[in-house]
């Protein structure tokens, strides 16, 4: 990853504790619940990997790369058949005994791609945090 670009979401306050969010997000099949209708096609997921189609990008593949119990989950992926990226969820306790989460994305983007992708990536991260904050089914995982 030569031209790394970094993007960071705001911190989101969830309606579950750190154990529940960790169990939920380490099973990639659960992420389908956070994807707005009509934004992707051909969703396919297993416990630790998924792939889907995004218009103007093509096939995106994501896999669980690292998990630090109740604190951090890292997903690695590729898009456009070459652009590597990493999506990291930082999970922490708060004074309300619920979880806070912050999403960080690093991607191998040349300067032109960074300029074109910055706004869509920012929107994606805001939508993801908003969906996670309003979500109430943390205890209902796929099986």
Residue-averaged pLDDT of the chain: 89
The CATH number of whichever domain residue 32 belongs to comes to: 3.30.530.20
Q: Is residue 139 part of a domain?
A: no
Q: Is residue 44 part of a domain?
A: yes
Q: Is residue 57 part of a domain?
A: yes
Segment 96-115, tens digit of pLDDT:
989 999 999 999 888 888 88
pLDDT over threshold 80, residue 21: yes
pLDDT over threshold 50, residue 1: no
Q: Show the domain range for 9.
A: 4-134
pLDDT over threshold 80, residue 125: yes
Q: Is residue 143 part of a domain?
A: no
Query: Strands 83-93 and 99-108: what pairing?
Result: antiparallel
Instruction: Give the number of domains in the chain.
Output: 1
Segment 35-55, tens digit of pLDDT:
777 778 899 999 999 999 887
Mean pLDDT of 69-92: 90
**119 or 3: which carries more pLDDT confidence?**
119
DSSP-H helix ranges across the chain: 18-25, 111-134
Q: Among 8, 21, 31, 7, which residue's Cα sits nearest to residue 93?
A: 21
Q: Is residue 109 part of a domain?
A: yes
Mean pLDDT of 46-70: 91
| Model pLDDT, residue 141 | 65
Q: How far apart are CA 34 and CA 130, in angstroms?
A: 9
| Model pLDDT, residue 113 | 84
Q: Tell if the pTM clears 0.85, that is, is over it.
A: yes
Q: Is residue 17 part of a domain?
A: yes
Q: Is residue 142 part of a domain?
A: no
For the chain, percent of residues with pLDDT exceeding 70: 95
């Amino acid at each position: 990853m030569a031209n790394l670009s970094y993007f960071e979401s705001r911190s989101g306050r969830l309606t579950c504790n750190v154990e529940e969010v960790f169990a939920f997000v380490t099973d990639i099949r659960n992420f389908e619940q956070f994807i707005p209708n009509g934004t992707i096609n051909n969703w396919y997921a297993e416990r630790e990997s998924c792939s889907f189609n995004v218009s103007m990008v093509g096939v995106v593949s994501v896999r669980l790369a690292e998990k630090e119990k109740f604190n951090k989950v890292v997903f690695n992926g590729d898009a456009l058949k070459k652009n590597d990226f990493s999506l990291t969820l930082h999970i922490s306790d708060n004074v309300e005994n619920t979880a806070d989460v912050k999403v960080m994305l690093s991607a191998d983007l040349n300067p032109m791609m960074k300029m074109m992708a910055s706004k869509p990536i920012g929107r994606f991260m805001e939508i993801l945090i908003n969906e996670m904050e309003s979500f109430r089914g943390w205890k209902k995982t796929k099986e």
